[in-house]
Structure 1
Amino acid sequence: MFTIDDLADRLGGYLPPDEIQQVKRAFYYAEQAHDGQRRRSGEPYVTHPLAVANILANMHMDHQSLMAAMLHDVIEDTGVSKKALAAQFGKPVAELVDGVSKLTQITFEDKAVAQAENFQKMVLAMSRDIRVIIVKLADRLHNMRTLGALRPDKKRRIARETLEIYARIAGRLGINTIRVELEDLSFQAIHPMRAERIKRAVASARGNRRSAMREIQASLQQSLDDEGLKGTVIGRQKHLLSIYKKMRDQRKPFAEIMDVFGFRIITEDVASCYRILGVVHNLYKPVPGRFKDYIAIPKANGYQSLHTTLFGQRGMPIEVQIRTREMEAMANNGIAAHWLYKAGQTAHPIAEGSHARARAWVKGLLEMQRHAGDSLEFIEHVKNDLFPDDVYVFTPKGDIMELPQGATVIDFAYSVHTDIGNNCIACRIDRHLAPLSTRLESGQTLEIITAPGARPNLAWLNFVTTAKARSAIRHALKHQQQAEAVMLGRRLLNKALASFETSLEELDESVFEQAFKELDVSSLDALLESLGLGNRMAHVVARRLVDVAHGDSFDKTLSDNSDKAVVISGSEGMVLNFARCCHPLPGDPVVGHLSVGKGLVVHRSECKNLADRKNDPEKLFALEWSEHIDEDFPVALRIEIESRRGLVAELAGLVTDADANIERIGIEERDARLSTVNLTLSVKGRVHLARIIKRIRNLPNVGKITRTAN
């Protein structure tokens, strides 16, 4: 069994003796704290933190991370407090342990909510110290290695969470050794039979391919030696989940996937990488369009390498990756390489750049967290952001911006700055105007056109792909709805106060302060917003304000002002909705009722759906159309007409000539001679509609025309 002395021997290779002693002290402390506790497998619990520390030692992590690994379950599973840990091992170690600890003390009704809340806590801890996530990944890796003792359903749940969140985070931070193992272990837990079959097939194929692999490897190595270039050629193996995904997504049989031979060439410096590229292209013919230069443009997680695909002997494809030793360390350990170089007292620029990118990513997560409505919405944003292929586009100044595959102009605008996204109205791609929904391609130059009064559009959510854009749009729309709700709430409350011959402006500040306490709101805006969204009744609030103003003794009967109508124009925004059941138009007698969360819903006075509300006049509002309306409104017509060829084209032409738009048209045959046309139009109002109906009546053999109310 692996012991603390074995770990200490391994740490001797890169840590000084005093730091190794601190790691051992943390182990003995954890051993005492977990005394008597056992894992599901029956082993003493302390074997788990020791194994986690061993994973971190493989990555050459610093002594504080190793101490946190030893102690990461102490706060959660024993009676030891964070304060006690800080006193024993220092504040940085205690903060790391607290960041990694899980939220088991909170009881959630839904496991998904628990996981999301847990992840949110981890993000906050990551913002203080990025090592939190590295310790957490090592913890999750050992848990995945020891899943065998759990029930199958629990295995699958943990494996899915690992695949969706932790494996993607490991990839996002460039820690590919952990990512690959997490993916394969998750795949084996979710699809054990498929994983076993692929594993057996891979073992068999490797045996058959051995001689071909050796032959290609030898020819590549010989070419380097002939040119006097230092480089080591290594055969590269695909992992289980990668093979399975390619078989599933590309619909290829296993034999075709395994026909590709992969090699990695490790060299001394960047210049040698490009010289080696020329050598391998001379040796084997390159496949057009399959060369990628991640050295000039690194991936977001800091990964750098040259990728090329070649036609080998007898046409077999060969994939070659060329990189330096430092790039190889980054490819395997990602951000953890930052501490590897730190331990060696050299701040390597690749590792430093990776650390800076990781911090920028965590900063972006925190911004998303502030904008997200709840923890589940936040975790969905994070899952969407982790981690599709990238496209690289240019700003007008020539700066490179990195975006996920499928990103649109709006995604680009928000990646530059949230305010640019919010005020975006148009764009130019390579100097040509293009729609905001255009999907971007690598190499394009984008210029965003903004306007000060512009606002995000709800329709943007249908095509944006980045989490930052999605959360920023939702945040802006939420604030837009709040502002519109406050304006509507003010009008409704002033209408209700007019019944008592007063208004908001006439009430004293002390009245509001006392009323806010009774109504349990924090401010006037919060009260007006709840009125505008239909969560409170304006009449009830007005009555309470008047009672407070008159010392609860006000007993005045309603004046004639109670019938004064609220004026609407149709441009009030998200808190004014027009009922689809009756399609009210300017000029129609209309009433409104407040719907919780939606705001004011406008109906025609004779709408059948208002029948049950007419007995409760406090829930209905008299409405009046503004004299200045410049909006289009939908209206539904039913037309009985004689069937004939070209009828739809005839109707469409007539409606267009009348400056209206057809939104929907459908024809039902009543009998061999007559048809019923169901037509939905966009019109300016009743007068505009009357003009259109008059034109339709002039068509031959038109029977009844009815404006449908339901």
Structure 2
Amino acid sequence: MTERFEFTVEEKESLYLLYAKLKRQIEVSLLPDDESRMCRHLEESVEKGQVHRDAFGHNPILFGFQTALIVVEEIGLKRDAVLAILLHPSVDGGFMTVDEVRTEFGESVARILHGLIRISELYAKNPVVESENFRNLLLSFAEDMRVILIMIAYRVNLMRQIRDSENYETKRKVSEEAAYLYAPLAHKLGLYKLKSELEDLSLKYLEHDAYYMIKDKLNATKQARDAYIDGFIGPIKDKLQEAGLRFHMKGRTKSIHSIWQKMKKQKCGFEGIYDLFAIRIIIDSPLEKEKMQCWQAYSIITDMYQPNPKRLRDWLSVPKSNGYESLHITVLGPEKKWVEVQIRTERMDEIAERGVAAHWRYKGVKGETNLDEWLTSIRNILETSDDLQVMDQFKMDLYEDEVFVFTPKGDLLKFPKGATVLDFAYHIHSKIGNGCTGARINNKVVTFREPLRSGDQIEVMTSTTQKPKRDWLNIVKTSRAKSKIRLALKETQVKEGLFAKEMLERKFKNRKIEQDESLMARLVKKLGFKEVSDFYKQIVDGSLDVNVVIDTYVDLQNRESGHGADGPARSAEEFCFQNINTGVSRGNDDVLVIDRNLKGIDYQLARCCNPIYGDDVFGFVTINGGIKIHRTDCPNAPEMRKRFGYRVVRAKWSGKGTSQYSITLRIIGNDDIGIVNNLTSIISKDEKLTLRSISIDSNDGLFRGNLVVMIDDTSRMEALIRKLRTVKGVKQVERI
């Protein structure tokens, strides 16, 4: 018997507060029976045992109210979105249908729920979330834009609630998705506050030490920083007012995530980041005087503080291609500190704040033009519509020229609109395409002419008797498939020609007639064939009788007095079958198996993390097509997954390790006499270990050393580390 779901005392108190707050905010948009129906539904779902805590132990009803409040307060959605959020667990769990929701709460709520369920199904297929394809497919699944907004709010709430969770693996996955998927989406939609929160919390959970190091330093310097900003802008205010300019000023501190990204990019410590904050001067200026007054403010500031000419960014004279206009300068303020100052007008500031695409590309991330324009229009709808009824009629036409489909193993592939099952088959492998007879799409059998639709899961069916036909060129849409079909037809033609040639030679020998190549060439023309391949094709398919060919040959030979042309006969050895299975097959295997005898694949062990047998590893496809093997905890792994998720392949080691690998061990200990000899003797006693190099640095009674050792696998490495730690005076041994 299932244990009955119970609210804790704290959960009840939180729920009552959230309920009251949410009701105040959306009460005007609710229909007369909404509240009573929803309360009855929630009570029944608890009584019937339909409510269960998630992987983190969260109360789904309380979680729904928390998410709904974010949607209302941070995004501005109302009744339909709130009801969809609260009903989603019941519909997702199969306790209520979308049609029932439509009957009870209306078409708009049902449509939002339909989108949420489709995205849940998408997640169930477990595609590579870091890939741009996944982001595009997620958007294409959200016919109603509110679905994406709710998903962002849901992830923000989840990131807030998992702070104390000990489910570290799921916590890591949730945080990576927040950084790679939801933060960029929030940024594109202009939800800057939620975007920053997602990035900061992701950093907090994924790189705990870095987050708290920056946070502590920001807190320690906050009072001094605020005082410095006041002292910096005070004189500027006075001078700008004296010049008769109307303006207001903003000060902002960079987010912890932004500071950490800049530290990594510049390879410096916290103290090396000069622009922890920026001053923004926004001038209330008529259109015809905008540039003049911005440069006037620039002149006043640079007269007061020394500018850094290398840091001048003039987007007044030549605005960015996305329309962004501003003047950025960095000046040396009091105490010899560099301060970034941004000068712009009210109109420019509005474009910068509202223009979603502008800020996106301003941070150096290239976005697709149609996506940027579309999301900008959504942003405008959100800000200009009071009741958001416009959203109910808004249907998404994004990516109308592309479809995204799944392989049976959950890999996500992109095709042009109109592509067919045959395109999909040839994308997997030429052999699969050549033998394709049809497919199962979502377990329904279809022909290979069936067009692909976004979200389809496709399993190709093949037959060994199937052969490519020329009319297949009219079925496929991709150039890749067309070229593979042409190659297959050409190879078939060569095979048919060899078969027909061998059959003719056999018939000639049976009738004891000597065959002459030049005479055969004249015979082919006499029979009306322009190409020899067409002549052989008709012999193979039986439309041209071999005996007729030989009789005609004999007549021609007799008329020419039985003499053929000079020159040796060509041997059949000159001909060879072309192998259509060249290249490395990656369509049937989703795990790269690493073996020193691996053939056909160019792979190397990455030097940045030096993986050895037994390490958890993954493969990364390089630009030249080779594969680099990295440890999963490689310092470069997060960046590779974030930027190039589609080039990451799963990998594992084959059998038992038979090679030796290089590892570096860092050792810290007391600088005692003989400690180095003790360390090296441990290695020299083991016949299967080879010491490649050793470097020791001694300072203040401590030594730091790096040992480079050739070793078989991780188990032997761990045994060595345990032995080294037993040496008297050794404080720390770790692999780097």
**TM-score normalized by the length of structure 2:** 0.47
**TM-score normalized by the length of structure 1:** 0.49
Q: Which has more radius of gyration?
A: 2
